[in-house]
Amino acid sequence: MIGHVDADCFYVSAERVRFPHLRGMPVGVLGNHGACIIAKSYEMKAAGVATGVPIWEAITLCPQAVYVKRDFVWYESVSRKMLSVVRKISPQVEFYSIDEQFFVAPDATIGSRLQRDILHQVGVPVSVGIAPTKTLAKLISDSSKPFGCGVVLTEDQRRELLHERPITDVTGIAKRSAKRLAQYGIHTCEQFAAADRAFIRWLLTKRGEDLWWELNGTPVQPVQTTRPTHKFVSRGGSIGKASRDPQRVQAFVVRNVERLVEALTHYELCCDQLILSLLFRDAPERSERCSLLGSRGDFETLLQAALHMLPRAWQPDTAFVHYMHVIASGLRPAGRRQRSLFEQSQLSDIKREINHRMGRFVLRSGATLPLVDVYGDAANNYDICDIYGKSCF
C-alpha cells in the first residue's frame, strides 16, 4: 500500500506554528511582492477569497483577516520536520513537494497515527490517503480534506472514489489533456478508468496509460526515495509589476541567470542549451532557444546567451513583461564536460564562496542594481523553487 500525506493550508498552518494566536483566525499569505493571495485559511476561503485575488479585493471580502508575507525559508523547515515524522513510520518516503509526501505504508491503518504524530510534533494538520497506487492515494487524501484520512482497499471503495470526480483532479491531466479527452466523452475519473487502455495510450501516450493503470488499482509509479534526474533546470517567475523598462527587465534576466547558475552548481550540472521565455501582460508569450559552444554552467557564458536572446524574445519591445523563465536544457554532469583552456573560473569561485559565507546575493552582478526594491526585501531572497530535493519540480 502507498500513503500520501498532504498538509492542510500548509503556508497558513506553518505561520500558525510560529504565531499560535493566528489559529482560528482568517489568514491570507501574500506573494513576493505583497500584491496577491497565494494561500488562504479555510476561514478566508469561506469569506469568498480565492487564491490569486489581489489584496485590495481580499480586504473588501474579508476585512477582519490577517495578511502575512510568505516565508519559504520557514516553510521549508516545517516541511522537513513533517518529512522526518513520516520517515519514522516508513523508511521509504518521497519528498514530493513542500507540503506533500508519498510513502510506502506499513499497513492500511497507519493514517490516523501519522496525522496525530505530525500534529503533535510539528503542529501542522494533515490529510492522509492510503491506497494501492500513488494516484489513488493522492485522490483519496485530497477528497478527505481538511484533516481527514481516507483508505481505498476494496473495489467498491475505488469505484466510489472515482465516481463523478472530474478527470482534472488527477495530477498529470491538465487542461489540454482534459480537452482532448472531452472530445471523446471522457470527463470523469470513472469514465477514464473504464475507457479502453490502448485508446488512452494512443490519445495521451505512455503517461496517460500509466494513469489508467494507476486509477484501476495497478501501481506503475513507484515511491521515489531519491530525486529523479533533471531534464530541465529553471529559474524565474513573476517580476512583480509588469514592466517595459529595458534596464529593469534586463536586471531580472541577470538575477535569474545568477539563480540558475546557483542551481546548476548545486546539482553539479551543466547544459548544452539555454531558453529564455517571456510572458507579457499585453502580448502572447515568446521563447527563444540558444545552443551553447559546448556544455557550460558558468555565469558569464549563460548571461551572454540570455542577453543575446532577450531582444529577440521581447517583441515588440513596448510590451509589458510580467513573467520570465531562464531554462537550462541538454543537461550533463558538470564533472564530465571538457573544459576550455581559456576558462577563468576564479571570479565565479570567489563569488560563490563569499555568498556561501556572508549570505545569498551579498555579492551579485552590478547589472541588478535597478532591482534595489527586490534585493531590499528579504522575502525575495528565497523562493519555492530554491528548495532542493522535491520530486515534483
Question: Shortest CA distance to 15 belongs to which of 96, 95, 78?
Answer: 78
The C-alpha cell that represents 298 in the structure block: 558558468
Q: What gap in Å lies between CA 129 and CA 149, rounded to an integer?
A: 6
316-320's contacts with Cβ under 8 Å and 24+ in sequence apart are: 316/283, 317/244, 317/246, 318/244, 319/244, 319/280, 319/281, 319/282, 319/283, 320/242, 320/243, 320/244, 320/280, 320/281, 320/282
Specify whether the CB–CB gap between 127 and 141 falls below 8 A: yes
Q: pLDDT value at position 378?
A: 84
For strand 66-69 and strand 27-30, is the pairing parallel, antiparallel, or unpaired? parallel
Cα 155 → chain centroid: 33
The answer as to whether 122 is a domain residue is no
Question: Shortest CA distance to 233 belongs to which of 284, 307, 302, 170?
Answer: 302
Q: Where is the domain boundary, 35, 54, 71?
A: 71
The answer as to whether 314 is a domain residue is yes
N-term to C-term CA, the chain:
24
Q: How many domains does the chain have?
A: 2
Q: pLDDT value at position 393?
A: 73
Q: What is the CATH number of the domain that holds 24?
A: 3.40.1170.60
The answer as to whether 325 is a domain residue is yes
The answer as to whether 188 is a domain residue is no
Q: pLDDT value at position 366?
A: 93
The answer as to whether 336 is a domain residue is yes
Look at residue 222 and give its three-state secondary structure: coil
Per-residue pLDDT of the chain (393 residues; tens, 9 = 90+): 999 999 999 999 999 999 999 999 999 999 877 678 999 999 999 999 999 898 999 999 999 999 999 999 999 999 999 999 999 999 999 999 999 999 999 998 999 999 999 999 999 999 999 999 999 999 999 999 999 999 999 999 999 999 999 999 999 999 999 999 999 999 999 999 999 999 999 999 999 999 999 999 999 999 999 988 899 999 999 888 899 999 999 999 999 999 999 999 999 999 999 999 999 988 899 999 999 988 899 899 999 999 999 999 999 889 999 999 999 999 999 887 766 666 666 777 888 899 989 999 999 999 999 999 899 888 888 888 899 999 887
Q: What gap in Å lies between CA 379 and CA 360, rounded to an integer?
A: 12
**What amino acid occupies position 284?**
P
Q: The whole model's pTM is what?
A: 0.89
The answer as to whether 257 is a domain residue is yes
Q: Where is the domain boundary, 71, 87, 109?
A: 71
**What amino acid occupies position 38?**
I
Q: For the chain, percent helix, then strand, then coil, each to nearest 5? A: 45, 20, 30
Strands laid side by side in the 37-40 sheet: 37-40, 27-30, 66-69
Q: Where is the domain boundary, 71, 87, 108?
A: 71
DSSP string spanning 105-156? Answer: -SSTTHHHHHHHHHHHHT---EEEEEESSHHHHHHHHHHT-SS-EEE--SHH
Q: What gap in Å lies between CA 263 and CA 184, rounded to an integer?
A: 42
What is the extent of the structural domain holding 14? 9-71
Q: pLDDT value at position 343?
A: 66
Q: For the chain, where are the alpha helices, taking DSSP H only?
A: 10-18, 42-46, 55-61, 72-89, 110-121, 134-143, 155-162, 175-182, 189-194, 197-215, 246-267, 299-313, 346-358, 372-375
The answer as to whether 34 is a domain residue is yes
The answer as to whether 299 is a domain residue is yes
